[in-house]
């Protein structure tokens, strides 16, 4: 992997969601494919399903036959194929970057920490860090906005979890299997 990393192109954050930029999966793969291949490496990723959780299994294989694998899963708040697909793409992107040992180029000059840590930190703060309710305490954000937020494709799993916690504290529950939120 060390030799492959020397050949990787820079990964640049080009897409934007909720006031942060991210590098889309296809750009991450494009930046690493040649370096991996010329060093006998391939990365394979597979969706996994564990009861009410979805995730990704990532395997790095070398032509020598050696492999390294990693697996991560999380709760899926959206049960429809598009919502699960968006979550899988998110998980694949970060798992792929992690096994390659790369992070996207910092395009704003402000972030001193990896984007995954930044997203987790922002999602768990007392105030909402984005959108029309930016700066409000999570508990003061209207239920309708929280409900909308958890159904959006580009909402991070950590933000969904925080919004769900706040909704549950307001006695708003998800009524599976339709995943419609009711009071």
pLDDT digits (tens, 9 = 90+) for 79-100: 778 888 888 888 888 888 888 8
Cα dist from 123 to 50, 120, 134, 181, whole Å: 25, 5, 12, 21
Residues paired with residue 103 on neighbouring β-strands, in sequence order: none
pLDDT at 60: 92
What are the tokens at 51? 């009861």
What are the tokens at 124? 């768990």
* Most confident residue range from 4-8, 105-109, 123-127: 4-8
> Which residues make Cβ contacts (< 8 Å) with residue 76, sequence separation at least 6?
52, 53, 54, 83, 84, 87
Residues 103, 117: contact at Cβ < 8 Å? no
How many other CB atoms are found less than 10 A from the CB of residue 52? 10
Reported pTM? 0.54
Q: List, in sequence order, the alpha helices (H) in the chain.
A: 2-7, 25-37, 81-100, 115-123, 143-150, 157-169
Average pLDDT estimate for 117-126: 50
DSSP assignment, residue 18? T
Give me the phi and psi of 57, to 5 degrees please: -105, 125
């Amino acid at each position: 992997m060390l030799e492959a990393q020397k050949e990787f192109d820079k990964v640049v954050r080009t897409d934007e969601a909720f006031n942060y930029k991210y590098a889309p999966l296809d750009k991450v793969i494009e930046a690493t494919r040649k370096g991996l291949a010329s060093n006998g490496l391939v990365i394979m990723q597979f969706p996994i399903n564990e009861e009410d959780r979805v995730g990704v299994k990532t395997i790095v294989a070398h032509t020598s036959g050696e492999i390294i694998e990693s697996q991560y899963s999380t709760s899926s708040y959206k049960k429809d194929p598009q919502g699960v697909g968006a979550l899988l793409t998110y998980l694949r992107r970060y798992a792929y970057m992690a096994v390659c040992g790369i992070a996207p180029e910092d395009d704003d000059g402000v972030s001193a920490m990896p984007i995954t840590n930044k997203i987790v930190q922002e999602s768990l703060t007392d105030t909402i860090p984005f959108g029309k309710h930016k700066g409000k305490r999570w508990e003061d954000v209207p239920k309708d906005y929280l409900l909308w937020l958890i159904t959006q494709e580009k909402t991070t799993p950590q933000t969904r979890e925080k919004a769900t916690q706040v909704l549950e504290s307001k006695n708003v529950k998800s009524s599976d299997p339709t995943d419609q939120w009711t009071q």
